[in-house]
């Protein structure tokens, strides 16, 4: 038995918004969760363009880099390759407690809606749906086409949480990091992970 509060799969895909996904990993590690990380090829391109980051291509190297970057305990964070079919996320016999695709490209969203399972990200999402585990998609696109909206509606009707990264301004954000934290806080709320990232509406303390 492990001592982790939850096991959460985080998938990074090729939409704009890699800062959200990396901040989510940071907060999950901080909260004492076990984190399984999946990363698409396109996500590496976005990380370089948006953040100036060259994410390691090999899953083992990515795992080491993320573990060091966010001070994960030994064994707390594990990264898997896109076709690593023996990874625990590939089977309903060992699903994570929750999965978040952040950011979620429209291509990934469509593949999940169709149940294609052509790579480990799509398969892990398929497992989450069939095992009735919490699945949160953070789609970053604007405007949405009718195809995008129909795919989102199909997934929402299956219980998938569609959480576009639309930061609120009532918290008076002072930086981009504040806006990122606002969205990460909403994601953590959905998967039941405690945090103190942003004040809650109506709190006066």
71-103 pLDDT per residue, tens: 999 999 999 999 999 999 999 999 999 999 999
Residue 32 within a domain: yes
Which pLDDT tens digit goes with each residue over 26-65? 999 999 999 999 999 999 999 999 999 999 999 999 999 9
- Looking at residue 4, what is its pLDDT? 84
Any known ligand binding at 186? yes
Residue 44 within a domain: yes
Identify the CATH number of the domain in which residue 72 sits: 3.40.50.1950
Any known ligand binding at 123? no
The angle that helices 146-157 and 106-114 make with each other, rounded to 10 degrees, is: 50
Which pLDDT tens digit goes with each residue over 140-177? 999 999 999 999 999 999 999 999 999 999 989 999 99
Residue 156 within a domain: yes
Residue 87: which domain range?
15-91+105-144+151-191
Any known ligand binding at 98? no
The count of domains in the chain is 1
Any known ligand binding at 40? yes
Any known ligand binding at 70? no
Residue 8 within a domain: no
Residue 30 within a domain: yes
Strand partners, 61: none
Residue 5 within a domain: no
Residue 158 within a domain: yes
Any known ligand binding at 106? yes
Residue 38 within a domain: yes
Any known ligand binding at 117? no
Any known ligand binding at 107? yes
């Amino acid at each position: 038995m492990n001592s982790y509060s939850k096991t959460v799969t985080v998938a990074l895909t090729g939409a704009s918004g890699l800062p959200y996904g990396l901040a989510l990993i940071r907060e999950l590690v901080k909260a004492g969760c076990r984190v399984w990380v999946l990363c698409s090829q396109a996500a590496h391109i976005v990380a370089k363009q948006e953040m100036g980051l060259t994410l390691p291509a090999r899953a083992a190297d990515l795992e080491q880099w993320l573990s060091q970057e966010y001070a994960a305990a030994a064994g707390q964070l594990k990264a898997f390759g896109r076709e690593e079919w023996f990874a625990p996320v590939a089977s309903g016999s060992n699903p994570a407690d929750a999965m978040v695709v952040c950011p979620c490209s429209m291509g990934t969203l469509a593949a999940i809606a169709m149940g294609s399972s052509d790579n480990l990200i799509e398969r892990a999402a398929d497992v989450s749906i069939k095992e009735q585990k919490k699945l949160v998609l953070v789609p970053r696109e604007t405007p949405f086409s009718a195809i995008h909206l129909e795919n989102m509606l199909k997934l929402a009707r299956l219980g998938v949480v569609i959480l576009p990264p639309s930061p609120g301004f009532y918290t008076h954000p002072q930086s981009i990091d504040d806006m990122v934290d606002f969205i990460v806080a909403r994601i953590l709320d959905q998967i039941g992970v405690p945090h103190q990232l942003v004040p809650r509406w109506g709190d006066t303390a």
